[in-house]
Structure 1
Amino acid sequence: MRAIQILGDASSPRITTNDSMATPTPKGAEILVRVLAAGVTGDEVTWPEVYESASRIPGHEVSGIIEALGPEYSGPLEVGQDVVAILTTSQGQGQAEYTVCFADEVSRKPPGITHVDAAALPIPALTAWQAMVDHGNLAAGMTVLVTGASGAVGTLAVQLAQKLAIVGGGNAIPKVIALASAKNHDRLKQQFGVHEVHGYDTPGWEDNIRNVDLVFDTVGGDVLTKTWETVKRNGTIVTVGDPAPEWAFDAKVKPEESVSHPEVRHVYFIVRPDSHRLSQALEMVAEGAIKPLEVESFPFEKAELAWERARQRGRNKKVVITFETQ
């Protein structure tokens, strides 16, 4: 099969294509998917997992067709169905013509969304959903601040913040405040309905935002540090910023900011597969309840260019690699 590989190491990654990789065979309860489109996360070149794998195939977001089922699979999925999957961080290997998945990673693809658009959604949609609901305890009437609001995760987060609280039974739509570069302010207000937008380049932006119930930070670093000044005394800060804060993986390490904000709850997390939530997000996009991501697609033969584009900062489009004409 054809596949993309990342050779070298994190200090000098090299994207290449390979036309003669072995096609995997599903074992146990595994599911073999013929990949039609695969999402690209540019930061993956810094993740250790791909360099530790024998195949060196990256990719955690795929949309395609079920090709075969392992002998122990007994669920509702069938050969020939259109599906979307998010592969676990340790597994990956989605940027190939065939990839192996597990049932909790796979969702049916609604007919109202293309494979290209679907492949762009798993990581950003689930990251936004899990941040808002699972870790942020989103509720109607909250004030929510989203940093990096013009990115893939951010644009879905500002929409989901407004939709999910209502789905949960609330009546008051959350007030959504966005932090983004100036060129994206009109887009965030007009297309995504955010209530208030602030720019990174505005000195003291953190002083102009107050009484936030929930911060969802997608940026990290100094931006994450400044969000502590915006949150309520007993508010919550959820971050997926890269690099992760020092306190992310060690419960003994406390943020310096928590000294003056002792009641603020702070959470760092890594997105996890959730086929049920992914199905819900896909249906919301297919039905028009939330807008899909803007996508820039590249054929397999231009994989190196696709990765170069995906690693550029400040773009509004998610990069997807296609293995077959859609």
Structure 2
Amino acid sequence: MADRLTRNAAHRTLPSEIKAWRVHAFGAPEAMIFESIARPKPGPNEVLVRVHAAGVGPWDAWIRSGKSALPQPLPLTLGSDLAGEVQEVGAGSVNLDIGDQVFGVTNTQFLGAYAEYAVASASMLAQRPHSLSPVQAASVPVVAVTAWQALFEYARLAAGQTVLIHGAAGSVGGYAVQLAHRAGIHVIATAAGADMEYVRKLGAAQVLDYRSQRFEQEVKEIDAVLDLVGGDTQARSFAVLREGGRLISTVSQPDQQLATDRRVTAEFFLVAVTTERLNLIAELVDRGELKVEVGTVLPLADARKAHMMLEGRIQRPKGKIVLCVDSSEEGSSSKPAP
């Protein structure tokens, strides 16, 4: 403990106030306020991270608008995905040290990353992949771990089986296609016509245009469906599963009566980002077996614009939106990692 306190004290002086994107009342992107707040302090099993980049995902918009599946007391600081440098280490068992370059998420509430400094649970961080810049690394944690858990922990897929991935051109879908293909799983995907070639290059053996093709007329006896879309797409997916198959959704709770009638398993889950899962993803990235795509990089001050992109009010390219917090990272490549 004494050594840790000494290291914290010896580190350079930290600001007492920081800039962060806050929400005091749930609502549209206009509800977001960029304001000064007191620098947060790490508690037991936590670290303070100087944020270099923060990822932006649809879950951030759900939280902002008051539609999160988790209770979110106000006021709050938005953001969960991040990459940065450890500045302070809290008490307890923390396998990180000051100066470590890390990536991961802040906490189980998915809060705090749209800021110059953020407190994060040490068990939800890992050493940043060597081959990625902070901007690239901040785009990875939630979506890559979601894809991994859906395929291997919930669908329990193995080589030789077949998966149907809906929304395969999205951030989670892109990782799911790559991870499944790498594992020897036969991938059938749905995507918009303009994205079909992109999804094929990621490793899909068959890609269906969801606008012009009814997937339930094209495929059957599927081992698992990964639902990243929800709604009618989810409901129609029961028809393509083999008996004993699995429907895994990251969007909404599937119809359990329909699952029983079809003799299949249907589950909804919330991602659990851990150091162990992040280390696994980092290893795949550094070996060149998993490609990262950042679509848009904006400065932290433009977080409201990022949320307008999430809602389709401003057009954006394919790929993850990332907020660059450290000005030295603003020129970081937004192209896929090698």
TM-score category (smaller protein): 0.7 to 0.9
Question: What is the correspondence of 1:37-56 to structure 2 with a 5 Å cutoff?
Answer: 37-47=53-63, 48=66, 52-56=72-76
The whole-number CA distance in structure 2 between the counterparts of 1:315 and 1:215 is 26
Q: 1:182 to 1:7 in 2, by over 3 A?
A: farther
The whole-number CA distance in structure 1 between the counterparts of 2:28 and 2:295 is 28
Structure 2 counterpart of 1:107: 126
Q: Which letter maps to 1:15?
A: M
How big is the shift at 1:305? 1.3
Structure 1 counterpart of 2:229: 219
Q: 1:203 to 1:284 in 2, by over 3 A?
A: closer
Aligned to 2:51, the other structure's residue is in SS state: strand
Q: Which letter maps to 1:214?
A: A
Asked whether the equivalents of residues 147 and 180 of structure 1 are also in contact (C-alpha less than 8 Å), the reply is yes
Aligned to 1:21, the other structure's residue is in SS state: strand
Asked whether the equivalents of residues 24 and 75 of structure 2 are also in contact (C-alpha less than 8 Å), the reply is no
Question: What is the correspondence of 1:250-265 to structure 2 with a 5 Å cutoff?
Answer: 254-256=256-258, 258-259=260-261, 261=262, 263-265=263-265
Per-residue CA shift, 1:212-255, capped at 9, x if unaligned?
A: 111111001000111111111111110112xx2365xxxxxx23
Unaligned residue ranges in structure 1 (runs of 5+): 166-172, 248-253
Q: Which has the larger displacement, 296-305 or 72-81?
A: 72-81
Per-residue CA shift, 1:89-113, capped at 9, x if unaligned?
A: 4251111111111121110112211
Q: 1:36 to 1:29 in 2, by over 3 A?
A: same
Q: Which has the larger displacement, 112-121 or 102-111?
A: 102-111
Structure 1 counterpart of 2:25: 8
The answer on 1:156 being equivalent to 2:175 is yes
What is the aligned residue count? Answer: 305
Unaligned residue ranges in structure 2 (runs of 5+): 1-17, 330-338
Q: Which letter maps to 2:41?
A: T
The whole-number CA distance in structure 2 between the counterparts of 1:60 and 1:231 is 34
Structure 2 counterpart of 1:176: 187
Structure 2 counterpart of 1:94: 113
Structure 1 counterpart of 2:163: 144
Asked whether the equivalents of residues 177 and 197 of structure 1 are also in contact (C-alpha less than 8 Å), the reply is yes
How big is the shift at 1:76? 2.8
Structure 1 counterpart of 2:319: 317
The whole-number CA distance in structure 1 between the counterparts of 2:257 and 2:264 is 11
Query: What percent of counterpart residues are identical?
Result: 28
Return the match for 1:245 from 234, 237, 253: 253
The whole-number CA distance in structure 1 between the counterparts of 2:317 and 2:265 is 31
Aligned to 1:144, the other structure's residue is in SS state: strand
How big is the shift at 1:16? 2.5
Return the match for 2:85 from 65, 68, 72: 65
Structure 2 counterpart of 1:123: 142
Scaled by the length of structure 2, the TM-score of the pair is: 0.85
The whole-number CA distance in structure 2 between the counterparts of 1:89 and 1:202 is 39
Asked whether the equivalents of residues 86 and 123 of structure 1 are also in contact (C-alpha less than 8 Å), the reply is yes
Scaled by the length of structure 1, the TM-score of the pair is: 0.88
Aligned to 1:66, the other structure's residue is in SS state: strand
Asked whether the equivalents of residues 144 and 176 of structure 1 are also in contact (C-alpha less than 8 Å), the reply is yes
Q: 1:152 to 1:283 in 2, by over 3 A?
A: same
The whole-number CA distance in structure 2 between the counterparts of 1:66 and 1:43 is 25
